[in-house]
Structure formats: structure tokens, C-alpha cells
A and B are shown apart, each in its own frame.
Chain A
């Protein structure tokens, strides 16, 4: 099995399928983690602490980053192949075929939006949390709503979240990101079964239903946190501003 994952179309698609599956699982985990912030900021921070600069969290981060990178690079390779295969002369008239989803034909564009959102997200959160810990800084710097300098512990995710989503434009940006992710997943989730060979006519409706449910759950799970944080930002900030780690 030396190289079918890199030199055959079906193998490359398997890589997309497996990395995609891994990313979906990660996103589901991330979403459930986020949801705890709605019930207990303390609990959320406990998870943040747990996922700090430990070896296992770091290892997981590297694997995760690898997954994203592979998924992303393969997407470009596949798209480039496909562009070539389509030929130089394009159709003058094209239509949206019946039963073909818009998302399925725009996975790369959606993926790019997702990645751009991810970059923003890393700047907003990861660079102020895990990265700070890796760099052995004790506290991350931020600026509060009034422009006053703010320092907090890198594991104080709840505070950072409340702080980030206190700004409406961040909420909007994140919602756009989640929407792109929703579209991407409505095709991606059933498609990963197809690419791995686990699908048939009986299961298509079921798999597509699962894909829609998963995509929608993920969208709602993330969106509700951002929206709630926006409306309750001052409460949450007040609650968490003086939090110190318990571990």
C-alpha cells in the first residue's frame, strides 16, 4: 500500500475522507466543550487548563494541525487535477443539475472560507491560550471594552470568549464562518462515507440526513455560544475577570 494514497484518485479521496472524518469528530468535541461555558464558566476553564501546554494536548494539537493541513493540501491537489481534467475549453452554458447540491460543487470555496475563519479563530483564541503557555508566558495581554489593559491567565478561556464575543463584528464573522462550515459539512459528512466505499442507494437518504443533522448541530452548538456570549458578555467578564487556575 505504498503510495495509492498519493497517486490514485480513489486513494486521494480516501485521505480526504479520513481527515475530514477526523476533523468532524474534533469539531464535535470542540463544540461540546464550548457548550459547557453556557452552564459553568468555571467548568469551561477547567477544560481549558486540561488542554494547556501538556504533552498530550500538544500532541493532539499537532495531529489536529496535521489533519487540517493534509485535508487542505489534498483539496488543492485534487482541485488542480480536476481543473486540468475539465480541459481548456469550458462550456458556454452550464446549469445546476437536479438533485445536485450547491455545496457539493463549491467545496473548495467553502473550505477556504472555513480556513480563513480558522485563522481568525487561532488569532483570537489559540494564540492567547495554548501558544502563550507553550512560550512560558504566565499571562496573556488583552484590552478591555474601555481600552484599559487587561491581563488574564491563558487558561481563562471563558473570559477570553466573553471578551471576544462582546464585539458584534466578531459575532457576525463567526456566524458567517459557521454557515460556511454548515454547507461544507452537509456535503462532506455523507461524502466521506461514499469516498470510503460505505454507501449505497438505501443508505444515501440516511447518510444525507445524518450529514444535515450533524452540520446543523455543529452550526447551532457554536452559534448559540457566540450569541449568548454576546448578550451576556458583561456578566461573564465580571464573573471571570479575577479567576485563577485551580489545578
Chain B
């Protein structure tokens, strides 16, 4: 297969970027999207050009490191997968593929397709944890947790923190990410204890970092590689409002 690639190139955070067009040839349909970029990069190195910088790591769809806005879709046109799990058979031979970095005020571009997602870490540092010390805990089976609750908590916890939700949201809102963590812990008795504090702190940090306001479009859920539901956003709203009304 052959493709024309329109890729965003930007030297560093301060530079102005632009699209550059490249061609890749003889790509097998079983090649993954990132392997296709590896091939392009190896060609670029041989040509003495700087390869395209993009974030990636596990290439199994779990680390959340890969990003890329491909032909208008966060993580490409396939549903429920990360960019690293996209295969070239999903694209039409000979087509042009536009590749952009995440675009969101809170995710500034570092280079080419690499953005800084440190804001997500900061939000979690604000309260995305249970305040227990190592070793000061009861037996794992001390508190039974209904299976349905554990399962729902796990649904939310499957978030990989890739940033697709904020990147795809027309409002640049990080609500799905924040909600996933808040909701996952809210469904467990261990997390419930400081639920109110957590919801308030994380929402406040999210707002402070310049993420937008959720308008319930559901675009985040549609593009989420882990299909985290916006029902968790409803729970976050509930947690936050209940906490605020008690203040």
C-alpha cells in the first residue's frame, strides 16, 4: 500500500509549526500505524532529515502514551483502540492521511506530534488517590464490595490517561478523564471516605489548568480508546455538587 502523509512539523514549543507532506510506499496491510511512521522515520534518517517525533511506548494500547489526531479522529478512525493498535488495512490504499498533534490549550506541543500532558498528572496529584499509608491497611477481604460496584469501578479505571477526551472535545474539557478517576474511587468503599474532598480538589485543579467546560456532547466517549462512559461524568457532577452543597 502507498500513502501520502500530511504531518504537522514543529521544531519546539516556541516555534511555529506547519504541515509537511511525505510519501510512504510498499506498506503491508498488517503494518501498524506507528510501524508505518517508523518506516517513514527510518527513511528520513537515511535522507539526513530529522524524524517525526511522536509519543508511543507499549504499543499494546495500555500505557496511554501514544496520541495523534488522524484524519480528524483522536487515535484514528477505528473505534475503541489507541493509535498503536491501528492497522494500515483500515486505510484506503493511495489515500492522504492527515496527522496532527493533540490540540488543546492545556496540552502545548513540545515537538512535532508530541504534546505535554503534564496537566493530567497535576489533576491526579490534586486528589486522585486514597490517602492510605503503606502497611496501615486491613485485610483485602475485610470489606466486601458488591461485584457490580467493583466492575463499574473497573470500567472507569480502564482510562489510560492518553488525553484523547480533552483533545477531541470541542471545549477542551478534561471531564471524562477527571470523572474516570473520581468515579472509579467513588464506587469503592475505600475511595468513598474522602470522596467529597477528592471531587472538589480535582475539579478545582482541572479548572485552574485551563481545561474547558463540559457541554455533554459525548465526543469524548465516542473517541475514548477505552470507551469510558460519560455516565462517570454524571457521577462526578453528582459527587462535586453534593460536596459543595454540604460546605
Q: Which residues of A contact B (CB under 8 A)?
A: 1, 4, 7-14, 78, 81-82, 84-95, 97-101, 104-105, 107, 187, 190-191, 193-201, 204
Whether the Cβ atoms of B237 and A81 lie closer than 8 Å is no
Indicate which residue in B207, B212, B236, B239 contacts A82 across the interface (CB closer than 8 Å).
B212
Question: Measured between alpha carbons, how far is A95 from B103 in the docked complex, in Å?
Answer: 14
Contacts of A193 in B (CB 8 A): 234
Contacts of A8 in B (CB 8 A): 203-204, 207, 240, 244
What are 11 A-B residue pairs whose CB atoms fall within 8 Å in the complex? A1-B247, A10-B237, A85-B105, A93-B69, A95-B73, A97-B223, A99-B218, A104-B215, A104-B217, A190-B216, A200-B234
| Chain A residue nearest in CB terms to B71 | A93
Contacts of A98 in B (CB 8 A): 79, 222
Given A82-B170, A201-B231, are A13 and B103 also a contact pair (CB < 8 Å)?
A: no
Contacts of B106 in A (CB 8 A): 85
Contacts of B107 in A (CB 8 A): 87
Whether the Cβ atoms of B100 and A92 lie closer than 8 Å is yes
Question: Measured between alpha carbons, how far is A198 from B109 in the docked complex, in Å?
Answer: 37
Is B230 positioned at the interface, with any CB of A under 8 Å from its CB? yes
Indicate which residue in B211, B235, B242 contacts A85 across the interface (CB closer than 8 Å).
B211
| CB interface residues, B 208-247, toward A, < 8 Å | 210-219, 221-223, 229-231, 233-242, 244-245, 247
Whether the Cβ atoms of A1 and B244 lie closer than 8 Å is yes
Q: Which residues of B contact A (CB under 8 A)?
A: 6, 17, 19, 69, 71-73, 79, 98, 100, 103-107, 109, 168, 170-173, 175, 203-204, 206-207, 210-219, 221-223, 229-231, 233-242, 244-245, 247
Given A85-B105, A100-B217, are A10 and B241 also a contact pair (CB < 8 Å)?
A: yes
| Chain A residue nearest in CB terms to B6 | A92
Q: How far is the CB of A217 from chain B (nearest CB, A)?
A: 22
Whether the Cβ atoms of A4 and B244 lie closer than 8 Å is yes
Contacts of A12 in B (CB 8 A): 213
Query: A13, A91, A101: which has the most chain B beta carbons within 10 Å?
Result: A91
Question: Measured between alpha carbons, how far is A90 from B69 in the docked complex, in Å?
Answer: 12
Contacts of A105 in B (CB 8 A): 170, 217, 219
Contacts of A197 in B (CB 8 A): 234-242
Chain A to chain B: the 4 pairs with minimum beta-carbon distance, closest first: A197-B238, A85-B212, A85-B172, A82-B171
Question: Measured between alpha carbons, how far is A198 from B237 in the docked complex, in Å?
Answer: 9
Question: Measured between alpha carbons, how far is A191 from B233 in the docked complex, in Å?
Answer: 11
| Chain A residue nearest in CB terms to B77 | A95
Contacts of A91 in B (CB 8 A): 69, 72, 100, 103
Whether the Cβ atoms of A9 and B231 lie closer than 8 Å is no
Contacts of A87 in B (CB 8 A): 103-105, 107, 172
Query: B105, B206, B235: which has the most chain A beta carbons within 10 Å?
Result: B105
Whether the Cβ atoms of B235 and A13 lie closer than 8 Å is no
Contacts of B105 in A (CB 8 A): 84-88
Question: Measured between alpha carbons, how far is A200 from B235 in the docked complex, in Å?
Answer: 8
Question: Measured between alpha carbons, how far is A194 from B233 in the docked complex, in Å?
Answer: 8
Whether the Cβ atoms of A199 and B217 lie closer than 8 Å is no
Whether the Cβ atoms of A10 and B210 lie closer than 8 Å is no
Whether the Cβ atoms of B215 and A92 lie closer than 8 Å is no
Whether the Cβ atoms of B104 and A104 lie closer than 8 Å is no
Whether the Cβ atoms of B229 and A201 lie closer than 8 Å is yes
Question: Measured between alpha carbons, how far is A1 from B17 in the docked complex, in Å?
Answer: 44
Question: Measured between alpha carbons, how far is A43 from B33 in the docked complex, in Å?
Answer: 69
Indicate which residue in B168, B233, B244 contacts A97 across the interface (CB closer than 8 Å).
B168
